[in-house]
C-alpha cells in the first residue's frame, strides 16, 4: 500500500506516490546553479537557474527533543528550519519534536542552494508526516513556504530563485513579467527592506544539446546574507549603481533567448559577460577568478554562481572532463551535472501520520 498526495500542480504531481517507512518521512530536493541574474534578481531583474544532479535528502522521525544530525536544533543557527516548522505546525501547542537527519552530495554554503534544498526537502517531509488528502502541499505552496523561510534567514532579502528551482526542478526563469516562450507556473511577492518585489516564475525546456555544467568549488564560505547585504550597501552608497543591476537584467534576457534557441555558444558568452558585471559589483573573489580563468580555454563561458565572495563558479562546456581537470589543477573541487534535473521528491512517508496534535 502507498499513501499519496492527491494534489497536482499544472499537471506536475509533486508528491505523486511514495513508499512507506514506519515512523519516518524522507524527501529529497536538488541543488541549483544560477546561469544568469544572481543579485539582480533580488531587485526584480530576470534570472535563470538550473536544477543540478546533486541532491540532499531529509529524513525525519519522532523524538524526545529537536535535533539535526544528532546536535540540538538551535533556532538562531537554523532560522529557516525554525520558520518552516512553525509555519507548518498549525496548532497552538508547541510543535512535537523531531529528529532531522540530512544526507546528500550538495556542498554546504557554496552557492549551490543547499539551504533552499534543505528547506524544500524538509517542507515535503514535514508535510508527509502530517499528510492527509486535505492538507498536502502542492509545489506552489511548498516553494512559497520555503521562500519565506529563506527570506527570514536573509534579513528579508531573498528572491524565490533557489527555492523555486529546488521545488520545480528543470530550468527555472524568474522575471518581473510573464516571459514568452516559457511555461508560467506561479507569481511570488515579498516585502523586502527596499520595497515590495514581485516575481513571475516559469519553467523552460530548451532544445537538448551535448553540454554540461562543471561547478568549481573554491572551498571559501561566504554567507549569502552577507553578500546580499554588501550589494544593498553598494546601492545605498551610490544609487546610480542600479544601472549595473539593470545591465545584468538585460544580459539575462539575452541569455534566456539563447537558451530558448538552443544556441549554447551564445549562452556561454552571456554567462561570461554576466560575470564581468558581478565582478565589478564586488561579489567575486581572487579564488573565483582563478578557477574561472582556468576553465575558460575549454568552456563556452564561465562565471561565479550564487552569491559569490567564495563558493562556486560554473562553466558551460562540451568537454566536461577537460574543464573539470583544469579547474582541479587550479585548486578547485569539481562537480559535473547535466542541465535540468527532477525537483522535490517524496521518497517515503510514514504508515500513520506522526506530526500533529
Ligand atoms: C543566491 O543563490 C542568489 C542571490 O541572488 C540571492 C537571492 O536570489 O536571494 C545572491
Question: What does the pLDDT look like over 306-352, one tens digit per residue?
Answer: 999 999 999 999 999 999 999 999 999 999 999 989 999 988 888 88
pLDDT-derived band at 194 (thresholds 50, 70, 90) equals confident
In this prediction, residue 159 carries a pLDDT of 86
Q: Report which of residues 245 and 130 the model is more confident about.
A: 245
Helix ranges, the chain (H): 79-88, 114-129, 139-153, 161-168, 224-237, 242-261, 264-281, 286-295, 320-329
Q: For ligand 1, is residue 224 a contact (CB within 6 Å)?
A: yes
Asked if 168 and 139 count as a contact pair (C-beta separation under 8 A), the reply is: yes
Across the range 189-215, mean pLDDT stands at 91
CB atoms within 10 A of CB 60: 24
Measured CA to CA, the distance from residue 77 to residue 226 in angstroms comes to: 15
Mutate which of 306, 309, 314 for ligand 1 pocket (most atoms within 8 A of beta carbon): 306
Residue 132 has pLDDT above 70, yes or no: no
In this prediction, residue 151 carries a pLDDT of 87
Measured CA to CA, the distance from residue 240 to residue 244 in angstroms comes to: 8
Ligand 1 atom 10: residue of nearest CA: 307
Mutate which of 307, 313, 314 for ligand 1 pocket (most atoms within 8 A of beta carbon): 307
Residue 2 has pLDDT above 60, yes or no: no
Mutate which of 31, 32, 34 for ligand 1 pocket (most atoms within 8 A of beta carbon): 34
Residue 58 has pLDDT above 80, yes or no: yes
Distances 162 to 38, 48, 116, 333 between C-alpha atoms, Å: 10, 10, 6, 22
Distances 71 to 65, 106, 123, 268 between C-alpha atoms, Å: 10, 20, 20, 42
Give me the DSSP letters along 239-304.
Answer: GGGHHHHHHHHHHHHHHHHHHHHT-HHHHHHHHHHHHHHHHHHT---HHHHHHHHHHGGGSSEEEE
* DSSP at 80: H
CB-based burial of residue 208 (10 Å sphere; 0-12 exposed, 13-18 middle, 19+ buried)?
A: exposed
Q: Residue 220's closest CA among 314, 153, 286, 155?
A: 286
Residue 10 has pLDDT above 60, yes or no: no
In this prediction, residue 221 carries a pLDDT of 92
pLDDT-derived band at 17 (thresholds 50, 70, 90) equals low
Q: For ligand 1, is residue 45 a contact (CB within 6 Å)?
A: no
In this prediction, residue 39 carries a pLDDT of 94
Altogether, the residues listed in the chain come to a count of 357
Torsion, Cα 166 167 170 172, to 10 degrees, reads: -80
Ligand 1 atom 2: residue of nearest CA: 306
Distances 247 to 38, 44, 88, 111, 201 between C-alpha atoms, Å: 12, 12, 39, 22, 20
Helix, strand, coil in percent for the chain, rounding step 5: 35, 25, 35
The model scores a pTM over 0.85:
yes
Q: For ligand 1, is residue 232 a contact (CB within 6 Å)?
A: no
In this prediction, residue 135 carries a pLDDT of 60
Question: What does the pLDDT look like over 148-160, one tens digit per residue?
Answer: 988 888 777 788 9
Calculate how far, in angstroms, residue 115's C-alpha sits from the geometric centre of ligand 1: 12
In this prediction, residue 15 carries a pLDDT of 47
CA of 37, closest atom in ligand 1: 5
Measured CA to CA, the distance from residue 203 to residue 210 in angstroms comes to: 20
CB proximity list for 231: less than 8 A, separation 6 or greater: 39, 42, 281, 282, 283
In this prediction, residue 224 carries a pLDDT of 84
Amino acid at each position: 500500500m502507498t499513501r499519496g498526495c492527491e494534489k497536482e500542480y499544472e499537471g506536475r504531481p509533486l508528491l505523486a506516490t511514495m513508499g512507506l517507512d514506519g515512523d519516518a518521512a524522507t524527501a529529497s530536493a536538488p541543488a541549483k546553479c544560477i546561469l544568469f541574474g544572481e543579485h539582480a534578481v533580488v531587485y526584480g531583474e530576470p534570472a535563470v537557474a538550473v536544477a543540478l544532479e546533486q541532491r540532499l535528502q531529509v529524513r525525519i522521525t519522532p523524538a524526545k527533543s529537536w535535533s539535526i544530525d544528532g546536535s540540538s536544533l538551535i533556532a538562531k543557527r537554523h532560522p529557516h528550519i525554525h520558520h518552516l516548522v512553525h509555519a507548518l505546525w498549525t496548532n497552538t501547542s508547541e510543535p512535537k519534536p523531531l529528529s532531522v537527519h540530512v544526507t546528500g552530495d550538495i556542498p554546504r554554503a557554496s552557492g549551490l542552494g543547499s539551504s533552499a534544498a534543505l528547506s524544500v526537502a524538509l517542507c515535503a517531509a514535514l508535510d508527509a508526516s502530517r499528510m492527509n488528502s486535505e492538507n498536502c502541499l502542492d509545489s506552489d505552496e511548498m516553494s512559497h513556504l520555503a521562500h519565506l523561510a529563506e527570506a527570514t534567514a536573509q534579513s528579508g532579502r531573498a528572491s524565490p530563485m533557489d527555492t523555486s528551482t529546488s521545488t520545480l526542478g528543470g530550468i527555472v526563469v524568474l522575471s518581473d513579467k510573464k516571459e514568452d516562450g516559457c511555461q508560467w507556473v506561479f507569481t511570488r511577492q515579498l516585502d523586502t527592506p527596499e520595497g515590495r518585489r514581485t516575481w513571475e516564475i516559469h519553467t523552460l525546456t530548451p532544445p537538448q544539446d551535448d553540454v554540461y555544467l562543471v561547478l568549481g568549488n573554491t572551498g571559501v564560505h561566504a554567507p549569502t546574507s552577507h553578500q546580499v547585504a554588501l550589494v544593498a550597501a553598494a546601492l545605498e552608497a551610490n544609487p546610480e549603481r542600479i544601472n549595473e543591476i539593470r545591465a545584468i537584467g538585460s544580459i539575462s534576457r539575452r541569455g534566456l533567448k539563447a537558451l530558448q534557441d538552443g544556441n549554447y555558444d551564445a549562452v556561454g558568452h552571456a554567462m561570461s559577460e554576466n560575470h564581468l558585471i558581478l565582478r565589478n559589483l564586488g561579489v567575486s573573489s581572487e579564488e573565483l577568478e582563478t578557477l574561472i580563468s582556468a576553465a575558460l580555454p575549454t568552456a563556452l563561458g564561465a562565471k561565479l554562481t550564487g552569491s559569490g565572495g567564495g563558493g562556486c563558479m560554473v562553466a558551460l562546456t562540451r568537454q566536461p572532463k577537460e574543464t573539470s581537470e583544469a579547474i582541479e589543477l587550479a585548486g578547485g573541487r569539481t562537480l559535473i551535472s547535466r542541465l535540468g534535473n527532477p525537483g522535490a521528491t517524496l521518497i517515503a512517508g510514514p504508515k500513520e501520520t506522526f506530526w500533529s496534535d
